[in-house]
Amino acid sequence: MEAKLKLTKFLLGLLCLSTFIGCGQESSDPTKAGNVTVVLGSHSVASNTFLDVLFPPAYAALNQMDLCFKRLRFKIDDTLVNLPEDNVDISVKHVTLDSSGSSKVFQSIVIPNKTYFRLEFDLEDSCGKGYSARVNNDQLGVPVETDKRVTIKFTGRFNSANPVLTLSVQNIVDAVKNYAGAGGDDLKNLLEGTSGTF
């Protein structure tokens, strides 16, 4: 009888322990939300290759890039044609990347607790400035812009359990710092043809 009582206590203890350990597994539940601060990372606005030191280009610096944000999409798979996504409407509408190259805290958002492999920003004239994107560099001398809807993308791997998501904008900055076009569809195509990383 005493052996049965000990065995019963032992089994009850195991049951309680397994229940307690099981309660700690909630972080993998995709229905839970993660609070994430999105940061546009620091960047260099000037040419910085070894050849640029020897032969400085006549025009090589981005003075300012203004972006009007509408929506952010988190994609859970970068290999599918029709990517499942979680959409976030953005409260921060206008962001300026300037010659300081400093990082900018973009916005704190809440997204489902999943692993994401691609982000897309929709740029639209949602900030009342008449453009979705505007660029000025040393080549242009004056700003050029587009009022077209522009989708810029970032690829990498991110789990929303992490509190900070830093987006590298360097590839995008590099693409526009020597831009000499007239804006419009040409600027839209340039921005959409370039990807950032995270």
Segments forming the whole domain that contains residue 65: 33-197
Give the confidence band of 82 by pLDDT, cuts at 50, 70, 90: low
Is 7 inside a domain boundary? Answer: no
pLDDT attached to residue 151: 96
Contacts with 94 (C-beta within 8 Å, 6 or more apart), sequence order: 66, 67, 68, 69, 127, 129
Is 176 inside a domain boundary? Answer: yes
Number of independent structural domains in the chain: 1
Is 24 inside a domain boundary? Answer: no
pTM of the predicted model as reported, rounded to 2 decimal places: 0.74
Is 89 inside a domain boundary? Answer: yes
Is 28 inside a domain boundary? Answer: no
Is 19 inside a domain boundary? Answer: no
Q: What is the pLDDT of residues 186-196, one digit of tens each?
A: 999 999 999 99
Is 154 inside a domain boundary? Answer: yes
Distance, in Å, from the CA atom of 135 to the CA atom of 67, rounded to the nearest integer, reads 9
